[in-house]
Amino acid sequence: MGMTIGEKILANAASKDKVVPGEIVTVDLDLIMSNDGTTHLTIDMFENKIKKKEIFDSRKVVFVVDHNIPAENEKTAMVHKKMREFANKHSIDFHEGRGVCHQVMVEDYVRSGQLILGADSHTCTYGALGAFGTGVGGTDFLYAMVTGTTWLMVPETIKINLTGKLPKGVSARDLMLKIIGDIGANGANYKILEFGGEGIKNFNISDRLVLCNLAVEAGAKTGIIEADEITLEYLKSKGRSPKNVFHSDDDAKYKKVYEYDLNQIEPVIARPDHIDDVVSIKEVDKVKIDEAFIGSCNSGRIEDLRVAAEVLKGKKVSEKVRCIITPASNNVYLQALEEGLLNIFMESGAMIMNPNCSVCWGSCQGVIGEGEILISTGTRNFKGRAGHKDSKVYLASVANVAASAVAGYITEYKED
């Protein structure tokens, strides 16, 4: 019996010819990443609990400060200082204010075929480049940093088979929210979500990152897409090459296969407080909003900002709405500057933030108050995710978030 891409990466990392779902393997890691959401506690554990204080290979470790940057208070400043000093002492790559960790990793580090742990749930994003990325907690990260290894249970794989092409005005984010709505917030719990089929050829790297990034919102251990010429072209443009290019075997075993005809996908929205409460955006038409957010590791890339600029060009954000736009990295920011997109945003009345997790993280900037409503391109709409426990978050595509910011209420983008 054959193996899926994910199984092949795990077999390779375990130095085995074959692995089967359910098997527990010890694997060598190619990269490990941690950010300011948890690293201070990990460093404390390293200093106070580990007997043999050694880092296996500091070249494989990356620290990114992206959640609360720049620091909003003294306590956060001390968290960042602790990370900075530790990284410096142990020669760990340290990025501060360069963007959301996953965007930085995709731009600078990730290669197809790698196995990567990140102390952040959206580490599953790296599957867009044909890598196996998975989120862990601080203790797992610490163990990995000290040993260069971790243990994993080989997951079963669910295949999402895509055919056709998305209609104009419908995005990869609409597709992914639709999938999560269909299979549920734990529909892929412990599983690999593999996206394939001829439809995937119509998705650029940014679209693929959108799909894999949200895999964890269906509970998946990772999302993954076979590396193809689009992937290799992207890596080449960044001066990198793949570690391995794996394909799923024809006789690979899938727990389940879901078929999606991209031509049938329509603009959707996830209603508060559950990401799998997904309906056609037409069903929530005219819900008044207080804030609109465009950014995050899901939808803060240049492709997203171009869409936002198309919608906002020559328009004004509603006086009743704060519209916050946060490029996902400095590279994205500079590109948007060069293309004149930032002028369009500023003229529309939107606020542009420095690259960071921003509103999606809910405790850095753009926090919403009691009873307020946010429409967002972020990753989550849990109760209180963006601020007060009695505030609400809707998740939608970039075009529809931008259109709603102009209207002052939730609406579907229609070209003039």
Partner 1 sequence: MEQSRVWKFNNDIDTDQIIASQYLLLSSIEEMKKYTFESIHKDFSSNVIEGDVIVAGENFGCGSSREQAPRVLKELGIKAVVAKSFARIFYRNSINIGLPVVICEDLYDNISENDLIEIDFTNGIIKKDNKEFKSTKLPEHMQIILNSGGLIEYLNRKAE
Backbone angles phi, psi at 405, to 5 degrees: -60, -35
Indicate if the alpha-carbon torsion angle 277, 283, 285, 288 is positive or negative: negative
Closer CB to partner 1, 185 or 351, in the complex: 185
CA atoms within 13 A on the CB side of 253: 8
Contact 272, 394 (CB under 8 A): yes
Least distance (Å) between residue 15 CB and partner 1? 18
Distance CA 112, CA 27 (A): 17
Least distance (Å) between residue 121 CB and partner 1? 4
Least distance (Å) between residue 363 CB and partner 1? 4
Least distance (Å) between residue 270 CB and partner 1? 13
Distance CA 104, CA 125 (A): 12
Closer CB to partner 1, 110 or 136, in the complex: 136
Closer CB to partner 1, 34 or 206, in the complex: 34
Distance CA 406, CA 317 (A): 4
Residues 6+ apart with CB under 8 A from 249: 2, 3, 4
Torsion of CA 188, 104, 171, 415, to 10 degrees: 160
Contact 131, 13 (CB under 8 A): no
Using CB under 8 A as the criterion, which residues of the chain lie in contact with partner 1 when the complex forms? 24, 36-38, 40-41, 44-45, 49-52, 67-68, 75-76, 78-79, 118-121, 123, 135-140, 142-143, 146-147, 151, 153, 185-186, 189-190, 216, 219, 221, 274, 361-363, 380, 382-385, 389
Closer CB to partner 1, 86 or 361, in the complex: 361
Which runs of consecutive H residues, i.e. helices, occur in 49-90?
A: 74-89
99: its two tokens: 């963007």
Beta sheet of 222-225, edge-to-edge order: 222-225, 192-196, 157-163, 256-261
Closer CB to partner 1, 117 or 235, in the complex: 117
Closer CB to partner 1, 319 or 370, in the complex: 370
Distance CA 80, CA 148 (A): 24
Least distance (Å) between residue 300 CB and partner 1? 18
- Provide the total of helices (H) and of strands (E) in the chain, helices listed first: 13, 18
Closer CB to partner 1, 59 or 383, in the complex: 383
Least distance (Å) between residue 190 CB and partner 1? 5
Least distance (Å) between residue 284 CB and partner 1? 20
Q: Count the neighbouring beta carbons within 10 Å of the beta carbon of residue 266.
A: 15
Closer CB to partner 1, 206 or 298, in the complex: 298
Least distance (Å) between residue 410 CB and partner 1? 23
